[in-house]
Protein backbone atom coordinates (compact mmCIF):
# COMPACT_ATOMS: atom_id res chain seq x y z
CA UNK A 1 0.00 0.00 0.00
CA UNK A 2 1.55 3.26 -1.12
CA UNK A 3 1.84 6.10 1.37
CA UNK A 4 1.58 9.75 0.48
CA UNK A 5 5.26 10.21 1.34
CA UNK A 6 6.27 7.56 -1.19
CA UNK A 7 4.11 9.09 -3.90
CA UNK A 8 5.44 12.59 -3.23
CA UNK A 9 8.99 11.23 -3.53
CA UNK A 10 8.08 9.70 -6.91
CA UNK A 11 6.44 12.95 -8.01
CA UNK A 12 9.53 14.94 -7.00
CA UNK A 13 11.69 12.73 -9.17
CA UNK A 14 9.32 12.73 -12.13
CA UNK A 15 8.08 16.33 -12.13
CA UNK A 16 10.55 18.14 -9.87
CA UNK A 17 10.51 18.86 -6.14
CA UNK A 18 9.17 22.43 -6.08
CA UNK A 19 5.47 21.59 -6.20
CA UNK A 20 5.60 17.87 -5.41
CA UNK A 21 3.41 18.19 -2.31
CA UNK A 22 0.86 20.33 -4.12
CA UNK A 23 0.69 18.06 -7.16
CA UNK A 24 -0.36 14.93 -5.27
CA UNK A 25 -3.91 14.67 -3.95
CA UNK A 26 -5.46 11.76 -2.07
CA UNK A 27 -8.48 10.24 -3.78
CA UNK A 28 -9.09 7.44 -1.30
CA UNK A 29 -8.26 4.35 -3.35
CA UNK A 30 -5.69 6.26 -5.43
CA UNK A 31 -3.53 9.34 -5.64
CA UNK A 32 -4.09 11.85 -8.42
CA UNK A 33 -1.05 13.77 -9.66
CA UNK A 34 -1.25 17.10 -11.47
CA UNK A 35 1.20 17.12 -14.40
CA UNK A 36 1.08 20.80 -15.35
CA UNK A 37 4.50 22.52 -15.49
CA UNK A 38 6.03 24.34 -12.54
CA UNK A 39 5.37 27.73 -14.14
CA UNK A 40 1.65 27.03 -14.09
CA UNK A 41 1.82 26.17 -10.40
CA UNK A 42 3.80 29.36 -9.85
CA UNK A 43 0.72 31.30 -10.93
CA UNK A 44 1.23 31.71 -14.67
CA UNK A 45 -1.96 30.39 -16.34
CA UNK A 46 -0.52 30.86 -19.83
CA UNK A 47 1.98 28.10 -19.03
CA UNK A 48 -0.80 25.50 -19.01
CA UNK A 49 -0.17 22.61 -21.39
CA UNK A 50 -2.97 20.84 -23.24
CA UNK A 51 -3.49 17.18 -23.98
CA UNK A 52 -1.92 15.89 -20.79
CA UNK A 53 -4.23 15.01 -17.94
CA UNK A 54 -3.33 13.87 -14.43
CA UNK A 55 -1.66 10.63 -13.42
CA UNK A 56 -3.68 8.21 -11.34
CA UNK A 57 -1.74 5.94 -8.97
CA UNK A 58 -3.62 3.06 -7.34
CA UNK A 59 -2.48 2.77 -3.74
CA UNK A 60 -2.86 -1.00 -3.40
CA UNK A 61 -0.76 -1.92 -6.43
CA UNK A 62 1.36 1.13 -7.24
CA UNK A 63 0.05 1.00 -10.83
CA UNK A 64 0.29 4.31 -12.68
CA UNK A 65 -1.69 5.55 -15.67
CA UNK A 66 -0.90 8.81 -17.46
CA UNK A 67 -4.28 10.15 -18.51
CA UNK A 68 -5.17 12.43 -21.39
CA UNK A 69 -7.40 15.49 -21.23
CA UNK A 70 -9.65 14.62 -24.17
CA UNK A 71 -13.44 14.33 -23.62
CA UNK A 72 -13.35 10.51 -23.59
CA UNK A 73 -10.94 10.53 -20.65
CA UNK A 74 -12.78 13.04 -18.48
CA UNK A 75 -15.15 10.48 -16.83
CA UNK A 76 -12.07 8.66 -15.50
CA UNK A 77 -11.27 11.66 -13.32
CA UNK A 78 -14.44 11.05 -11.33
CA UNK A 79 -13.63 7.45 -10.37
CA UNK A 80 -14.01 6.82 -6.65
CA UNK A 81 -12.91 3.17 -6.51
CA UNK A 82 -10.61 0.78 -8.36
CA UNK A 83 -13.65 -0.92 -9.87
CA UNK A 84 -15.02 2.38 -11.14
CA UNK A 85 -11.59 3.34 -12.46
CA UNK A 86 -11.43 0.11 -14.48
CA UNK A 87 -14.94 0.64 -15.86
CA UNK A 88 -14.32 4.23 -16.97
CA UNK A 89 -10.96 3.27 -18.47
CA UNK A 90 -12.58 0.58 -20.60
CA UNK A 91 -15.22 3.06 -21.73
CA UNK A 92 -12.41 5.39 -22.82
CA UNK A 93 -10.68 2.61 -24.78
CA UNK A 94 -7.94 1.98 -22.21
CA UNK A 95 -6.85 -1.37 -20.80
CA UNK A 96 -7.06 -1.23 -16.97
CA UNK A 97 -4.91 -4.36 -16.75
CA UNK A 98 -1.88 -2.74 -18.37
CA UNK A 99 -0.56 0.27 -16.42
CA UNK A 100 1.89 2.68 -17.99
CA UNK A 101 4.29 1.94 -15.16
CA UNK A 102 4.31 0.66 -11.60
CA UNK A 103 5.83 2.24 -8.53
CA UNK A 104 7.31 -0.84 -6.94
CA UNK A 105 10.64 -1.66 -5.37
CA UNK A 106 12.25 1.41 -6.89
CA UNK A 107 10.55 3.91 -4.60
CA UNK A 108 7.45 2.60 -2.91
CA UNK A 109 9.21 -0.24 -1.12
CA UNK A 110 12.43 1.54 -0.19
CA UNK A 111 13.45 0.93 3.42
CA UNK A 112 12.95 3.57 6.03
CA UNK A 113 15.65 6.26 5.76
CA UNK A 114 17.01 5.11 9.13
CA UNK A 115 17.94 1.78 7.51
CA UNK A 116 20.58 3.34 5.30
CA UNK A 117 22.90 0.92 3.56
CA UNK A 118 26.01 3.09 3.63
CA UNK A 119 25.84 5.05 6.85
CA UNK A 120 29.43 5.43 7.98
CA UNK A 121 32.75 6.48 6.50
CA UNK A 122 34.45 3.15 7.17
CA UNK A 123 32.16 1.25 4.81
CA UNK A 124 32.76 3.79 2.06
CA UNK A 125 36.52 3.88 2.67
CA UNK A 126 36.72 0.09 2.31
CA UNK A 127 34.92 0.28 -1.02
CA UNK A 128 37.18 3.09 -2.23
CA UNK A 129 40.24 1.12 -1.17
CA UNK A 130 38.99 -1.96 -3.02
CA UNK A 131 38.83 0.18 -6.15
CA UNK A 132 42.41 1.38 -5.78
CA UNK A 133 41.83 4.76 -4.13
CA UNK A 134 44.50 5.93 -1.69
CA UNK A 135 43.22 7.79 1.36
CA UNK A 136 45.26 10.90 0.53
CA UNK A 137 43.61 11.11 -2.91
CA UNK A 138 40.18 12.25 -1.73
CA UNK A 139 38.06 13.68 1.04
CA UNK A 140 34.56 12.62 2.06
CA UNK A 141 31.83 15.18 2.70
CA UNK A 142 28.61 14.20 4.47
CA UNK A 143 25.47 15.74 2.94
CA UNK A 144 23.00 13.82 5.16
CA UNK A 145 21.31 11.87 2.35
CA UNK A 146 24.61 11.07 0.63
CA UNK A 147 28.36 10.98 1.00
CA UNK A 148 30.33 12.95 -1.57
CA UNK A 149 33.78 11.71 -2.49
CA UNK A 150 35.81 14.69 -3.68
CA UNK A 151 39.08 13.86 -5.46
CA UNK A 152 42.18 15.87 -4.59
CA UNK A 153 43.22 18.58 -7.07
CA UNK A 154 45.70 16.27 -8.79
CA UNK A 155 42.83 14.20 -10.19
CA UNK A 156 40.05 16.77 -10.01
CA UNK A 157 39.11 16.12 -13.64
CA UNK A 158 37.38 12.97 -12.43
CA UNK A 159 34.77 15.05 -10.62
CA UNK A 160 32.94 14.21 -7.39
CA UNK A 161 31.20 10.93 -6.64
CA UNK A 162 27.81 10.97 -4.90
CA UNK A 163 26.99 7.87 -2.84
CA UNK A 164 23.33 7.80 -1.82
CA UNK A 165 23.23 6.33 1.66
CA UNK A 166 19.81 4.71 1.53
CA UNK A 167 20.37 2.77 -1.69
CA UNK A 168 24.19 2.48 -1.77
CA UNK A 169 23.93 3.85 -5.32
CA UNK A 170 27.09 5.43 -6.74
CA UNK A 171 26.89 8.35 -9.16
CA UNK A 172 30.02 9.54 -10.99
CA UNK A 173 29.34 13.18 -11.85
CA UNK A 174 32.24 13.76 -14.22
CA UNK A 175 33.56 17.25 -14.88
CA UNK A 176 30.43 19.11 -16.05
CA UNK A 177 29.85 22.29 -14.00
CA UNK A 178 26.11 22.10 -14.74
CA UNK A 179 25.87 18.59 -13.30
CA UNK A 180 27.90 19.61 -10.24
CA UNK A 181 25.71 22.65 -9.57
CA UNK A 182 22.52 20.62 -9.89
CA UNK A 183 23.74 17.84 -7.59
CA UNK A 184 25.17 20.11 -4.92
CA UNK A 185 21.94 22.11 -4.84
CA UNK A 186 19.92 19.06 -3.80
CA UNK A 187 18.75 18.96 -0.19
CA UNK A 188 17.62 15.34 -0.22
CA UNK A 189 17.55 12.13 -2.23
CA UNK A 190 14.46 12.97 -4.28
CA UNK A 191 15.80 16.43 -5.09
CA UNK A 192 19.12 14.89 -6.12
CA UNK A 193 17.42 12.64 -8.67
CA UNK A 194 15.25 15.49 -9.94
CA UNK A 195 18.31 17.74 -10.27
CA UNK A 196 20.22 15.03 -12.09
CA UNK A 197 17.37 14.50 -14.55
CA UNK A 198 17.17 18.24 -15.20
CA UNK A 199 20.67 18.23 -16.72
CA UNK A 200 21.03 14.56 -17.75
CA UNK A 201 17.57 13.60 -19.09
CA UNK A 202 18.66 10.05 -19.93
CA UNK A 203 19.63 9.31 -16.31
CA UNK A 204 17.54 6.69 -14.51
CA UNK A 205 17.29 7.04 -10.70
CA UNK A 206 16.86 3.26 -10.53
CA UNK A 207 20.13 2.63 -12.35
CA UNK A 208 23.13 4.23 -10.61
CA UNK A 209 26.55 3.88 -12.19
CA UNK A 210 27.60 1.46 -9.46
CA UNK A 211 26.37 0.13 -6.15
CA UNK A 212 28.40 -0.47 -3.00
CA UNK A 213 27.97 -4.04 -1.73
CA UNK A 214 26.94 -4.57 1.86
CA UNK A 215 29.86 -6.81 2.69
CA UNK A 216 32.91 -8.02 0.85
CA UNK A 217 36.51 -8.97 1.41
CA UNK A 218 38.85 -6.07 0.74
CA UNK A 219 41.31 -7.40 -1.87
CA UNK A 220 44.03 -4.93 -0.84
Output the pLDDT for position 113. Answer: 44
**CA 49, 52, 54 angle in degrees (round to 5)?**
115
Query: Are 73 and 124 in a shared domain?
Result: no
Cα–Cα dist 78/105, whole Å: 29
Output the pLDDT for position 31. Answer: 98
Query: Are 62 and 75 in a shared domain?
Result: yes
pLDDT tens by residue, the chain, 220 residues = 889 988 988 887 777 777 889 999 999 999 999 999 888 998 999 989 888 899 999 999 999 999 999 999 999 999 999 999 999 999 999 999 999 888 864 443 343 444 456 767 788 998 999 888 888 889 999 887 789 999 886 554 578 999 988 788 899 998 889 999 999 988 778 778 888 888 888 888 878 999 888 765 443 3
- Listed residues 83, 109, 135: the one ending a domain: 109
- Listed residues 91, 109, 127: the one ending a domain: 109
Query: Are 78 and 144 in a shared domain?
Result: no
Q: Which of 160, 175, 169, 177 is nearest to 203 (CA)?
A: 169
Q: Does residue 76 contact residue 68 with C-beta atoms inside 8 Å?
A: no
- Is position 220 within any domain? no
Cα–Cα dist 157/45, whole Å: 44
Query: Are 59 and 137 in a shared domain?
Result: no
Beta bridge partners of 170: 163, 210
Query: Are 141 and 199 in a shared domain?
Result: yes
Output the pLDDT for position 157. Answer: 59
Query: Are 119 and 165 in a shared domain?
Result: yes
**Total domain count, the chain:** 2
**Residue 61: Cβ within 10 Å count:** 16
Cα–Cα dist 66/20, whole Å: 16
Query: Are 24 and 12 in a shared domain?
Result: yes
Query: Are 95 and 168 in a shared domain?
Result: no
Query: Are 78 and 148 in a shared domain?
Result: no
Using the Cα atoms of residue 78, residue 81, residue 84 and residue 85 in order, give the sign of their dihedral: positive
Give me the domain span that covers residue 136: 113-211
Query: Are 165 and 201 in a shared domain?
Result: yes
Query: Are 97 and 118 in a shared domain?
Result: no
- Listed residues 70, 88, 109: the one ending a domain: 109
Using the Cα atoms of residue 115, residue 118, residue 119 and residue 120 in order, give the sign of their dihedral: positive
The interaxial angle of helices 177-184 and 189-199, nearest 10 deg, is 160
Q: Which of 30, 26, 34 is nearest to 81 (CA)?
A: 30
With a CB cutoff of 8 Å and minimum separation 6, the contacts of 187 are none
Query: Are 181 and 200 in a shared domain?
Result: yes
With a CB cutoff of 8 Å and minimum separation 6, the contacts of 24 are 4, 7, 8, 11, 31, 32, 33, 34
Amino acid sequence: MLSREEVVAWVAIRYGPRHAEKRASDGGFAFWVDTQPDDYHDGHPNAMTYGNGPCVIVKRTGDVWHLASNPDSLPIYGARSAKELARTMRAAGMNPNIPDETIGGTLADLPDPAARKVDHHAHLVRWLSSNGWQEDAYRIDDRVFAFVVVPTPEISGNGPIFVVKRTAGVWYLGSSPAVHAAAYGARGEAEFYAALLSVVPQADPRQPHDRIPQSYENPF
